[in-house]
A and B are shown apart, each in its own frame.
Chain A
Amino acid sequence: MPELDVPQGHSLRSAVDRQIIDKLQGDFPLCERPYAEAAERLGITENELLARLQRLLDDKVLTRFGPMVQIERMGGAFVLAALAVPEGRYGEVTGLVNALPQVAHNYRREHALNMWFVLATETPQGIAEAIAKIERDTGLPVYAFPKEREYFVEMKLAARA
């Protein structure tokens, strides 16, 4: 699996890109020509918006453009989990963990528990199966941290570079 590099010193080319990122994190129109409607709000043409979105995706400034699904609302489950991976095995274990489609994202963090990932499955049993597979494949114990209560979630960050 390819690793996503953390872009260093990446700066956005224009104020228009910044507007696209800041204004289009939600409320994308549901109509026949949504890009045309969104472009009008931004004061650009439909073609320009499409071209800029393609470039932002190609440059990995955007990871995706589309619906964000809340799997728990469809009977599924999200669980945060962690591993303490020996440094010498970090690349190998990253490949094993990322190979599971149930791993929605995965971060390296500075701690003895140095790999933190989110499992998303269509059924609650799917979580236990994914954890068992990771433990079998890696030989490492998985620490699971299912949420017991959600106090706040709103991940919309404005572009600042």
Chain B
Amino acid sequence: MSGLPRLDEIDRALIVATQGGLPLVARPYQAIGEQIGIAGDEVVCRLQAMLQSGIIRRIGAVPNHYAIGWTANGMTVWDVADERVDELGARVGALEFVTHCYRRPRALPDWPYNLFAMVHGASRVEVADKAAVIATLLGAECRANEILLSTRILKKSGLRI
């Protein structure tokens, strides 16, 4: 796994100290620094470096999507030919309303789907309408599909190392 940025003990301590959230105080980076034994300036530099290397995707608010009105969340799953999935996946992922789009392995015979696209809406109908746009895009390339609506968040703590 060459090319992965190396994470030293201090970076790791910084992730552990912030993974539950930043302190809600005027100088949060200084507060974290005091906790792990480095200066606030160094906290800022290290967070900046981890943002640049992609270890940190972003820093900010993580909403509960249900609470901000996105009450219907649908995992749409599609069975398309393996030799076509990359081209089709790129096109589905480019739709403005798709938040995540991945190729994943099938689990035959129960699960024939290899293309996953998450769509969100304020209602089941909105999710179904968005899935219909994907279905139109895939056309005859889609051999089977389903929408798995979520009905409850059972846990959403985010990553914990």
A interface, CB within 8 angstroms of B: 1, 3-8, 10, 12, 20-21, 24-28, 30-36, 46, 50, 53-54, 56-57, 59-71, 73-76, 80, 94, 97-98, 101-113, 115-117, 120, 122, 143, 145-155, 157-161
Complex interface bits, B11-28 against A, C-beta within 8 A gives 1, otherwise 0: 000010011111011111
Residues of B within 8 Å of A155, CB to CB, are 99-100
Residue in B22, B62, B160 whose beta carbon sits within 8 Å of that of A101 in the complex: B160
- B149 touches A (CB below 8 Å): yes
Complex contact A25–B155 (CB within 8 A): no
- The residue on A at minimum CB distance from B152 is A108
User: Which residue in A24, A34, A53, A152 is a CB contact (below 8 Å) of B29?
Assistant: A34
Q: Look across to chain A and name the residue whose beta carbon is closest to the beta carbon of B102.
A: A147
CB atoms of B19 and A160 under 8 A apart: no
Q: Which residue of B lies closest to A50 (CB)?
A: B24
Say which residue of B22, B59, B146 sits within 8 Å of A111 (CB atoms): B146
A70 & B55 in contact (Cβ 8 Å cutoff): yes
Please determine whether B152 and A3 come into contact, CB atoms closer than 8 angstroms.
yes
Q: Are B107 and A145 in contact (CB under 8 A)?
A: yes
A sample of 28 cross-chain residue pairs with beta-carbon separation below 8 angstroms, ordered by A number, consists of A1-B155, A6-B151, A21-B61, A21-B68, A25-B60, A27-B58, A30-B51, A46-B26, A53-B61, A63-B156, A63-B157, A64-B158, A65-B21, A68-B59, A69-B55, A69-B159, A71-B159, A71-B161, A73-B55, A74-B7, A104-B158, A107-B73, A109-B150, A113-B111, A151-B89, A157-B63, A157-B99, A157-B120
Is B40 at the interface (CB under 8 A from chain A)?
yes
Range class of the B interface residue count: 35 or more
Query: Are A104 and B61 within 8 A (Cβ)?
Result: no
Contact B151 A108, beta carbon cutoff 8 Å: yes
10 closest A-B pairs by beta carbon, nearest first, are A161-B69, A152-B93, A151-B93, A26-B58, A160-B69, A106-B154, A106-B155, A108-B152, A151-B89, A149-B103
Interface set of B (CB-CB < 8 Å, partner A) = 1, 4-5, 7, 15, 18-22, 24-30, 40, 44, 47-48, 50-51, 53-71, 73, 75, 86, 89-90, 92-94, 98-105, 107, 110-111, 116, 120, 122, 146, 148-161
Inter-chain contact A33/B26, CB cutoff 8 Å: yes
User: Are B155 and A68 in touch, CB under 8 angstroms?
Assistant: no
> Which among A70, A71, A105 is the interface contact of B157 at CB below 8 angstroms?
A105
